Structure 1
Amino acid sequence: MDLSVYLAYDYPVLGAFWTVMWIFLWVMWLFLLFRIIVDVFRDHEMSGWLKAVWVLFLLLIPFLGVLVYVIARGKDMGKREVQHAQERQDAFNSYIRETVKDPGRAGADDLVRLSELKAKGDLSEEEFQKAKQKLLG
C-alpha cells in the first residue's frame, strides 16, 4: 500500500505563479470582451446590421474578433466612453436643476421661514398673513 504524502513542494511556486497568471489573463480577456460588446451597442453611429456582424464575429471567433476590433475601432472607444460619461453627467445635472427649481418645494421653504419670523416676533400677524397670501398666490 502506497502511503505517499503530498507536500507543498510537490506543486512548485513557479507552477502556482503560472496558474495565477493564466487566470488573471483569462479574466482580463473576458473583461475586454464584454467591454467591447458594450462599446458596440453604445455606438450610435453604427447601424444595427453592423452591430450584429460585430457581435457575431466576437462570439464565433472571440480572440480574433477582440484583436480586430481593438485594432480597427480601439482608438475611438475612449472617446465614446468620455462622451457617454458626459451625457450621464449632463442628465444628472439637469435632474438636479429641475429638482431644485421645484416650485412646490420653494414655496414650502418660504412658508417655513415666514412662520419662523412670526414665531420670533419679527412679523406681526397681519404682515404674516399678507406674505402668506402673496406666496400662495
Structure 2
Amino acid sequence: MGSTVNLAYDYPVLGVFWTVLWIFLWVMWIFLLFRVIVDVFRDDSMSGWAKTGWLVFTIVLPFLGVFVYVVAKGKNMGRREQAHVRAHLDETNRYVRETVGVTGTPSEADQLAKLSEIRARGDISEDEFRRAKEKVLHH
C-alpha cells in the first residue's frame, strides 16, 4: 500500500497564520519605506543636504532610519500628503474647466441662443424648438 501525505498535518493552521502575518508585515514595511522616501522628496522645508542625509540614513539603516524619520517628521507627513492631493485636484479641475470651456452652468439666454442656432440650421422643427424653449424657461 502507498503512503498518503496529509498536507494539513505537514503545514498546520498556525503555520499558515504566521506566514500570512509575516507577508503582511513585509508588505506594510515596504509601503512605509516608500512612503517615507516620497515624503523626504516632498518636504520643501528641508535643504538638499538634509534630504540626502535622511535618504542615506533610510537606505543604510532602513528600520532605524524609517522609525526615526516617522518620530521626527511624522507629524507633518499627513499635512504634506493632503497639500499634494489638494494641489493635484485643483490642477485637474483647472484642466477640466479649460478643456470644456465652461465656467458654470449655461444661462437661459445661452440655452435659448443655442436652440435658435439649431433651429436656424434646420436640425429641429419649429414644434421641437417651441417645446425645448418651454422646457428651458420653466426650469
TM tier, shorter chain?
Answer: 0.7 to 0.9
- Who is 2:98 aligned against? 98
The CA distance in 2 between the partners of 1:110 and 1:36, in whole Å, is 55
The CA distance in 1 between the partners of 2:17 and 2:70, in whole Å, is 28
- Who is 2:64 aligned against? 64
The normalised TM-score by structure 1 is 0.72
* RMSD of equivalent CA atoms: 2.4
The CA distance in 2 between the partners of 1:110 and 1:98, in whole Å, is 23
The CA distance in 2 between the partners of 1:46 and 1:39, in whole Å, is 11
Tell me the secondary structure at the aligned position of residue 44 of structure 2: coil
| CA spacing shift, 1:4–1:57, aligned 2, 3 Å | farther
Q: Deviations over 1:64-123 (max 9, x none)?
A: 011101100111100001100110111112112222338xxxxxx99975542211359x
- Structure 1 unaligned regions, length at least 5: 103-108, 123-137
How far the C-alpha of 1:6 sits from its partner, in A, is 3.6
| CA spacing shift, 1:53–1:110, aligned 2, 3 Å | farther
Runs of 4+ residues deviating >3 angstroms: 3-6, 109-115
Alignment of 1:20-59 (within 5 A): 20-59=20-59
Q: Which amino acid aligns with 1:67?
A: F
- Who is 2:10 aligned against? 10
Deviates more, 1:21-30 or 1:91-100: 91-100
